[in-house]
Amino acid sequence: MCTCITYENGDFYFGRNLDLDCSFGEKVTVTPRNFSLNFCKSPRLEHHYAMVGMASAADSFPLYAEAMNEKGLCMAGLNFPGNALYQEACGEGIEVASFEIIPWILARCATVAQARDYLSQMRVINTSFSPQMPPAPLHWMVADRENCLVIEAVRHGLKIYDNPYGVLTNNPPFDYHLMNMNNYLNLTPQCPDNRFSSKLNLNSYAQGMGALGLPGDASSASRFVRAAFFKWNSVSKKDEASNVSQFFHILDGVAMIRGSVITEEGKYDITTYSCCMNTRTGMYYYKTYDDSCVRQVDMYGEDLEGGALVFV
Ligand SMILES: C[C@H](CCC(=O)NCCS(=O)(=O)O)[C@H]1CC[C@H]2[C@@H]3[C@H](O)C[C@@H]4C[C@H](O)CC[C@]4(C)[C@H]3C[C@H](O)[C@]12C
């Protein structure tokens, strides 16, 4: 499971928890403007926008879990098993393999509006990166300061949703989460009044009682609601340190603690890492399960005119 959020408070931030029962060889990876991007079905891109994010360290192609480009466009992939359906390549439309979609979009789009144009013509195809790395069943969130979309390749084709919450988790499909949010419209961060019955003397006897009913478990639907509640009621000062701290506090509220979620294979799902990207400054912040010290990588600290991937 995973949780992805946007956060706007002066600057605009994008990040996620990556919840998994093992490592995928992740490294903070900068793709400079002149790294040659080879795609399965689209022409090679020799020059493009630079990007930074967490990727599986392969020299030939940046296998991003999430990334941000130098224009402030961001994209993340989250597990979507049982619902993601990628198509056979057949030469129609813009064919992009699932592992290519993040670099494909971030290399050439500055805004969500541009991404939407490409996505509306796109077919996500089931080509593998390598025999050892079959396609991962994912859906994606793409966002800039103005807009946020969710992209789901399902049985009926590619669905593109506007995402007014700026939150994404996992199954079921996004329209379920849109509907499910309405079940929680009564929650409030305020001290609640007695609305149960005017004939009863009911009192708020502790802090936080306005959000009684906010789901506390690690399921995807519950994390969606909890992340949205924390994000949309968040208050922080507008300086960088306060914003980044607040962002990680929101993610901590939906993080997975080892032992509390056991997969069908008997493994422990944990929040392997959490990250936060500032779309104006190109800063990628992250912390890991065993090291809560926040590290930072400055995209502009690397040679963005370079031609090779940089693993930081
Ligand atoms: C597992 C990650 C999503 C996190 C998540 O939602 N976990 C849920 C765990 S569970 O089901 O709920 O138990 C996804 C996000 C991006 C994925 C990676 C990226 O797509 C890049 C490549 C793509 C290759 O096809 C497979 C390896 C891979 C390196 C992927 C491994 C894995 O599937 C990642 C890391």
Give the mean pLDDT of 227-244: 98
Q: What is the mean pLDDT of the chain?
A: 97
Q: Specify the 3-state DSSP secondary structure of 202.
A: coil
Would you say residue 59 has pLDDT above 90? no
- The per-residue pLDDT for range 141-176, each reduced to its tens digit, is 999 999 999 999 999 899 999 999 999 999 999 999
In a domain, 312, yes or no: no
In a domain, 224, yes or no: yes
In a domain, 309, yes or no: no
Cα 1 to ligand 1 centroid, rounded to whole Å: 10
Q: Specify the 3-state DSSP secondary structure of 113.
A: helix
Nearest CA to ligand 1 atom 34: 65
Probe residue for ligand 1, chosen from 16, 17, 20, 139 as the CB with the greatest number of ligand atoms within 8 Å: 20
Instruction: Copy the structure tokens of residue 147.
Output: 């807009």
Q: Which atom of ligand 1 is nearest to the CA of 2?
A: 6
In a domain, 40, yes or no: yes
Cα 86 to ligand 1 centroid, rounded to whole Å: 15
CATH number at residue 239: 3.60.60.10
CB 265 within 8 A of CB 251: no
- The per-residue pLDDT for range 86-99, each reduced to its tens digit, is 999 999 999 999 99
Report CA-CA distances (Å) from 294 to 1, 96, 252: 22, 34, 13
In a domain, 288, yes or no: yes
Cα 55 to ligand 1 centroid, rounded to whole Å: 10
Side chain identity at residue 274, one-letter code: S
Instruction: Copy the structure tokens of residue 72.
Output: 């402030």
Probe residue for ligand 1, chosen from 63, 86, 128, 133 as the CB with the greatest number of ligand atoms within 8 Å: 63
In a domain, 215, yes or no: yes
Closest among 65, 151, 81 to 116, alpha carbons compared: 151
Cα 164 to ligand 1 centroid, rounded to whole Å: 24
Tell me, rounded to whole angstroms, the distance of Cα 149 from its chain centroid: 11
Closest among 277, 291, 309, 270 to 23, alpha carbons compared: 270
Would you say residue 127 has pLDDT above 70? yes
Catalytic residues: 2
Cα 186 to ligand 1 centroid, rounded to whole Å: 35
Cα 198 to ligand 1 centroid, rounded to whole Å: 51
Predicted pLDDT at 202: 97
CB burial of residue 296 (10 Å; 0-12, 13-18, 19+):
middle
Q: How far apart are CA 10 and CA 13, in angstroms?
A: 10
ipTM: 0.91
- The per-residue pLDDT for range 175-217, each reduced to its tens digit, is 999 999 999 999 999 999 999 999 999 999 999 999 999 999 9
Predicted pLDDT at 1: 61
Instruction: Copy the structure tokens of residue 44.
Output: 């090679």
Neighbours of 6 (CB within 10 A): 23
Pocket of ligand 1 (CB under 6 A): 1-2, 18-20, 24, 56, 63, 65, 77-79, 81, 99, 129, 133, 135-136, 138, 170, 263, 269
Probe residue for ligand 1, chosen from 4, 5, 16, 19 as the CB with the greatest number of ligand atoms within 8 Å: 19
Domain of residue 133, residue span: 2-193+208-298
Predicted pLDDT at 136: 97
Determine which helix (DSSP H) or strand (DSSP E) holds 244, and give its type and residue range: helix 240-252
Give the mean pLDDT of 79-91: 97
CB 152 within 8 A of CB 139: yes
Instruction: Copy the structure tokens of residue 278.
Output: 């500032």
Q: Which atom of ligand 1 is nearest to the CA of 129?
A: 25
Neighbours of 24 (CB within 10 A): 15
Give the mean pLDDT of 285-308: 97
Would you say residue 226 has pLDDT above 70? yes
The domain total for the chain is 1
Predicted pLDDT at 162: 98
In a domain, 311, yes or no: no
What is the model's pTM?
A: 0.96
Nearest CA to ligand 1 atom 10: 1
In a domain, 223, yes or no: yes
